[in-house]
Amino acid sequence: MTIANERAWRELDFRKSLELFREMREVTAERSDEVCYFDVSQIDYILRDLERIEESSPEQKQLAVRWIKEMLKGADLYESGKYQEALPHYRDSLELALAIFDQDSCFVVDAQHNTASDLLAIEAPKEREEGVALALAARASLEKQQLTKIFSYRKVNNVLSRLYYKQEKYAESLEAGRIAISLYKEHKAEGLPDYALVAGITAECLLRLGKTEESLECSRSALNDNPPRSGRFAPYRIRLLQQYVRAKIALNDFEKVDLSFQQMLLVADSLIWLGYPTELRIEHREEYLKFLHSQGETKRAEEIQAEIEEIKAKSTPQKSRYSD
């Protein structure tokens, strides 16, 4: 259904999209006991805006065509990692959405979220401030409509948690992260990579704020959901393992710490082909080394020290025999 709907969007066929969502609502309502990607409340929220397009004037429909084109262009660039190039398209899509719909519209909230996500990816302080403002506006709209159990609310809190984390506002990041995590669990979506990401950030915020036992439980719970061991999302597993061992050590509970450090190094080393930073591979080993010294594990410490030296040697550019 979602693939068919994306095709309808790309063909600028709003009527087809409306029909698909009406059909989706029927099916979802019949399966009310099942957890679905979109629940009835989310679908109704989308249908309200699609019906508004269907009933609008030709001029408004032309604006809607421009809006969807800008949104899709931004999304394609974002998926390609061209975040700076995506930004003007996302901003234009938000401006057009505001011209077509009301402030609390599903598509305005979605445009605010998309723009905030792109601003987060750009990695600049000024952009993060704008991203936080947009995410907060989207969250406020959903709360005003009491739509705090739907997919849109989950993803807005996810990006807000990450934006606040980048600003080192750990209490604010924690608050948004907790909301997102509770909704991932409610939606039975703990298997998604984004869940592992926000759980790792939340565990770190808890630890930084002195909530060590809660941090341990957060990282342990997320690790039990088996986050990716390989591929582009595997760093989320590394972060969870890192927060897990830090919380365990802070609580003087050393069971499974050594094994968790070994898993962390194994995953990090397996990601060399994806460009996992050498400095992080070294940092993980230095943290493990500190733990081994504290436990009097001299032989293992020597092995890890040798690995550190080997990685450093391989990452240092060799002087050319043709240079002066």
pLDDT (mean) for 93-114 = 95
Can you read off the two tokens belonging to residue 207?
């630890």
Asked whether residue 323 carries a pLDDT value surpassing 50, the answer given is no
pLDDT over 90 percentage in the chain: 81
Q: b/e string for 222-234 if b means 16 or more Cβ within 10 A?
A: bbebebeeeeeeb
pLDDT (mean) for 256-267 = 97
pLDDT, one tens digit per residue, over 134-153 is 999 999 999 999 999 999 99
DSSP conformation class of 32: T
Residue 32 pLDDT class (50, 70, 90 cuts): low
Give the integer Cα–Cα distance in Å for 161 and 165. Answer: 6
Residue 33: predicted pLDDT: 58
pLDDT, one tens digit per residue, over 166-206 is 999 999 999 999 999 999 999 999 999 999 999 999 999 99
Asked whether residue 245 carries a pLDDT value surpassing 80, the answer given is yes
**Amino acid making up residue 7:** R
Q: CB-hemisphere CA count at 13 Å for 188?
A: 7
Mean pLDDT of the chain: 92
Maximum CA extent, the chain: 77
DSSP conformation class of 55: T
